[in-house]
Structure 1
Amino acid sequence: VSWLAYKQLGNPMAPLVYGAQLGKIADMEERLLDSPAEHQVVVAYLRRAQDFEARLQDVEGALERERQKARERVRALRDQNADVGLIVSASRELVSLPRDAASARERWTREMRENYERARPLGGLPLHSQAFAGDPNGSPHERKEYELARRNFLALMFCLMVGTAGLPHLLTRYYTAPSVAAARTSVAWSLFFIALLYLSAPALAVLVKFEVMQNLVGSSFETLPNWLAQWARVDASLLSVEDVNGDGLVQFGEIRLGADLIMLATPELGGLPYVVSGLVAAGGLAAALSTADGLLLTISNALVRDLYYRGAPREASPEQRVILTKFTLLSVALAAAFVAALKPAEILPLVSASFSLAASAFVPVMVLGIFWRGTTRQGAVAGMLAGLGIAVYYMLSHVPVLRTWAGWLLADRLWFGIQPISAGVFGVPAGLIVAVVVSRITRPAPALPLVRSEM
């Protein structure tokens, strides 16, 4: 981010200077909205979306027609003694077709939605110069969209801020400090780097978008940089550039740059050598492993020490507890790896969900335990369970797979229009209220003073 800021503005302090690019991005967006080539891209994606929608009207018949068409193409290429690469490519297209009607319906529905989304001006992205999607002074639909976008933004910011305070691997870090003064210093440095990270995120968005609009849009497909093809081969769903309108030039709507790839592709996008992308990837992997390490240690220690050993006292030596902790750590790690291998969602919603869960489960009880002497053990446990339960319920209630067989148990619609990743907005107050109420109920009565009777 600092390199992009220095390259574009001559100042590496990205969070302080990136605002100068907002006006330039707004001017480029206005030109793109009036560009005939961009309108051709929108029409092309709209045709694709309508084609997928037509296929969904008769999935089995459409699937059979697609198979027949692919077979005829392979047969025609073989009859013409075409290049082997073309025949192999056509054969792969035939093999990649959905195996049955259910998988075809799922894939075509997803592709229909993606194409409808890209069949909007600027690839479906809102203008960068406006704070939220919609228009506060527009039609009723635009005003509602604006209000929901603003509400979800504030809810997500709340969950990120409060969730950061309750992340287990951050809380346990402070217990490793040798003194109170060292713990305060650790907290100060943690807040500094967390603030630096959060302030750099919007700067990254602006600088990357300016780089794409300035250097990629309008360039010829024959002169595309090598890094674009390399990353596209890694995963076409994360990065792809396709000449949809056939003019030989890259349009903004033809670029698909996934959020998961922005950090890895940014160094080469800014002209840095490939080795910097490797360093960024290594840093990301190190951060992920350190986070996972702290969380795994917290989970395994809590399960063994608090629940197994302290919850129900057992005769267990320190060596036995350490061995049991290691086996518990391995079990939790394998379970987490299994869930990650299923890829239930993209990484950003999952990370945001973890902040909501940490905020709902830990923060209310932590705050009450520090600032209110009336907090009882029963109130703390009830508050943690209530906050975590509300957050998990709201998240799971909008998972499509669960709604197919347990829809009657789940919420029908969004609460106040808040997205599931911001479930902490409901979990935090629920945990706080339940902890206070249960603590007041279970608080022991004050001991009555002894009164000496005089005869």
Structure 2
Amino acid sequence: MDQQSIVSLSLILATFGLYIGIAIFCRAKQTSDFYVASRGVPPLWNGMAIGGDWMSAASFIGMAGTVMIMGYGGLAYIMGWTGGYLLLTFLLAPQLRKYGRFTVPEFIGDRFGSHKARLIAAIGTIIISFTYIIGQLSGSGVVIGRILQIDAMYGTMIGVVIIAIYATLGGMKGVTWTQVAQYMILIVAYIIPIVFMSLQVTGNPLPWLSYGTIVSELGALDRELGLTEYFAPTENKAQMLGLMFCLMLGTAALPHVVVRFFTVSTMKAARWSGAWAIVFIALLYLSAPAYAAFSRFILMTQVAGQSIAGLPAWTKTWVDTGKLQVADTNGDGILQWQEIIISNDIVVMATPEIANLGVFVVGLVAAGAMAAALSTAGGLLITISSSFAHDIYYRLVNPNASDKKRLAAGRWAIVLSTLAAGIVALDPPGVITQIVAWAFSLAAGTFLPVLVLGVWWKRANAQGAIAGMLSGLGVTLTYIILAKQGITIFGLLDTAAGVFGVPVNLLVMYLVSKATAAPPQHLQDEVMDLRYPEQMTYKDGEVWMDEASGK
């Protein structure tokens, strides 16, 4: 093991020890701890935990690489993911918090008064979260594979064990506070390299202000090589708009994101959590385009055009992971830009080495990448666990189950789902950002219309919700499979499958709800009640002020 690997491994083990310590200290002792952290997380810290939960391997590892390789079209990920939080914060989060449930399936089951709707929502949640976690495990494999200089597949196996141990201990209470620590680590790890790269390339320590000049130079380099310019508008505008649509609506409907707003005490705290989350998320998302521009510039000017025999040492270590290919296809002994095949998933990890930023910075980025993968994996596993143990086992199979049995069921669900996702992640069906985009399309197609109409349309009923979820999930999943086989509509790829699932779900739910009996009056009153501050309640067609508020 070389010096770089030793430094990286030491930093990762140190941070992992911190996470385990927090998880043990905040160990869940009851179900409310395990599922919603006893609803006692302050908005500022919850916003940071949301940021940590959100900064997945796709954001940390994959997004800058996707923007670097796709150019203008890759910005759909940044705009879509950020815009979704505005929808969630203002359209759903406060109302769902006021309803006072533990999970999204529990809200759907109780709002529509249907165990069948609860079961379908729980299964949908497990499918979406399972798809998402494949990307996180794949990302951990990239990091561990580089550190140990082994194939990323074996790195994934090690990541499965680490993530299963970490998430099983603390439940939502432990995961929340570890996500706060993980956010701090990952954001420092992400920003430090681009500050150094900005100084190295432009002499300006503020990359957000300096990378514009580099983009202009990249355009000139692309023209010389006969390539499409880096930030030239994409020809497939339908795909870019469709992808933004799916990422935005999927963000507002992802079960593991929605449930984070259940961990605060009030509707007001839920709104502030969303506001803080946007601030913390923006720190990374505003940095990703700079990262992409600097990385591409350094590769094009300092690596491409060099002698094959004299390539720097970092190329061999990444070739060993299977994520980088360099070949002298024209036999001239010089590495051309077109002869470099670099995976989206290694750009952030490899660039500090490419820019020769030193072993500590490279190790810090590795620790940040693992923090990103762990933070989101923890939230996803808690969501899978709660869907199985709370919504299926407790609410449907064994309503008399003790807290001890429910916690045991939740922890076993985490272990088994991690192992199953790990098996799939050994040979992932796509790159990290692609896999994660499928999860967003599935979330949008399955849940968004049901959640929005469930909160804002009192006439929506159980039959409509069931038909909407099944049709939306079915259409979205079918299109992903067909698009992977090359069968597309309007040029929309598999990552934009939710474009078809969302309107089908919405239309079916509306038509079926109108064609069947209205929900009971008490359910309609509960829907009206969701729209008012917590001091106010709705009953008998009037808004009542809570006497405890003193008004």
**TM-score greater than 0.5 by the shorter chain:** yes
1:128 to 214, 227, 230: 230
Identical columns (%): 42
1:309 to 2:394 alignment: yes
Gaps (5+ residues) in structure 2? 1-193, 522-551
- One-letter code aligned to 1:284: A
SS for the counterpart of 1:30 is helix
- In structure 2, the residue matched to 1:250 is 335
- Counterpart position of 2:261: 174
Using the alignment, how far apart are the partners of 2:470 and 2:280 within structure 1? 31
Tell me the equivalent position of 1:157: 244
Mapped to 2, the partners of 1:281 and 1:442 lie a distance apart of 55
2: CA distance, partners of 1:151 / 1:398: 15
Alignment map for 1:30-429 (pairs within 5 Å): 30-33=223-226, 122=227, 126-132=228-234, 146=235, 149-235=236-322, 238-311=323-396, 314-400=399-485, 413-429=487-503
Q: How many Å apart are 1:222 and its aligned residue?
A: 4.4
Please tell me the residue identity of whatever aligns with 1:426.
F
Counterpart residue identity of residue 414, structure 1: T
CA deviation map 1:24-67 (0-9, x unaligned): 1122223233xxxxxxxxxxxxxxxxxxxxxxxxxxxxxxxxxx
Distance 2:206 2:254 in 1: 29
- Equivalent residue for 1:440? 514
Structure 1 residue 343, shift from structure 2 partner: 2.5
* Contact 2:199 2:205 (C-alpha < 8 Å) held by counterparts: yes
On the 8 A contact 2:482/2:488 being kept in 1, the answer is no
Q: What is the rounded CA distance, in whole Å, between the counterparts of 1:393 and 1:366 in structure 2? A: 22
Q: For the residues of structure 1 that align with 2:409 and 2:506, how far apart are their CA atoms?
A: 34
CA change 1:251–1:341 in 2 (3 A) is closer
1:435/1:229 Cα in 2 relative to 1: closer, same or farther (>3 Å)?
same
TM-score by length of 1: 0.66
Contact 2:344 2:431 in 1 (8 A): no
Letter in 1 for 2:265: P
Q: How many Å separate the matches in 1 of 2:429 and 2:304?
A: 33
Taking the aligned partners of 1:396 and 1:225, their CA distance within structure 2 comes to 40
1:19 corresponding residue in structure 2: 212
Say which SS state the counterpart of residue 397 (structure 1) adopts.
helix
- Partners of 2:222 and 2:206 lie apart in 1 by 25
With 241-250 and 359-368 compared, the bigger mean Cα shift is at 241-250
Once the 2 structures are TM-superposed, how far is the Cα of residue 445 of structure 1 from its aligned partner?
7.9
The alpha-carbon distance between structure 1 residues 386 and 13, as it changes in their structure 2 partners (threshold 3 A), is: farther
Residue 197 of structure 2 is matched in structure 1 by 4
How many residues get paired?
Answer: 328
Over 3 Å counting, the alpha-carbon distance change for 1:29 and 1:342 in structure 2 is closer
Structure ranking higher on relative contact order (CA contacts 8 Å, 6+ apart):
2
Larger Cα-atom Rg:
1
CA 1:281 to 1:385, structure 2 compared with 1: closer, same or farther past 3 Å?
farther
The separation in 1 between residues aligned to 2:453 and 2:520, in whole angstroms, is 20
Answer whether contact 2:198 2:294 (CA < 8 A) is retained.
yes
2:483, 2:414 → 1: CA distance? Answer: 30
Task: Work out the CA distance in 2 between the residues paired with 1:375 and 1:3.
Answer: 54
**Residue in 2 that maps onto 1:68:** none
Deviations 1:185-236 (A, max 9, x none): 221122223344444333332221111122122233344322222222332x
8 Å CA contact retained: 2:461, 2:519: no
Q: Using a 3 Å threshold, how does the CA distance of structure 1 residues 188 and 13 change in structure 2: closer, same or farther?
A: farther
Structure 2 distance, partners of 1:156, 1:350, is 13
Aligned in 2, Cα 1:438/1:193: closer, same or farther, shift over 3 Å?
A: farther
Cα distance between partner residues in 2 of 1:364 and 1:349:
23
CA distance in 2, matches of 1:190, 1:177: 13
1:313-343 deviation per Cα after TM superposition (whole angstroms, max 9, x unaligned): 6432222222222222222222212222242
- Secondary structure of the residue aligned to 1:425 is helix
Q: CA deviation at 1:279?
A: 2.1
Partner Cα distance (1:446, 1:247) in 2: 77
Q: Deviations over 1:407-453 (max 9, x none)?
A: xxxxx831222111210111111111222222223343898xxxxxx
Secondary structure in 2 matching 1:429? helix
Return 5+ residue gaps in structure 1 as ranges.
34-121, 133-145, 401-411, 448-455
Tell me the equivalent position of 1:88: none
Displacement after TM superposition at 1:345 (Å): 2.7
Letter in 2 for 1:416: F
1-structure distance, mates of 2:326, 2:380: 38
The CA deviation at 1:12 is: 4.2
Residue 176 of structure 1: CA displacement?
Answer: 0.9
Report the Cα offset of residue 16 of structure 1.
4.2
Distance 2:519 2:409 in 1: 40
Distance 1:357 1:13 in 2: 38
In structure 2, what is the Cα distance between the partners aligned to 1:29 and 1:213? 9
Residues 201 and 442 of structure 1: CA distance in aligned 2, closer, same or farther (over 3 Å)? farther
Distance 1:379 1:348 in 2: 32
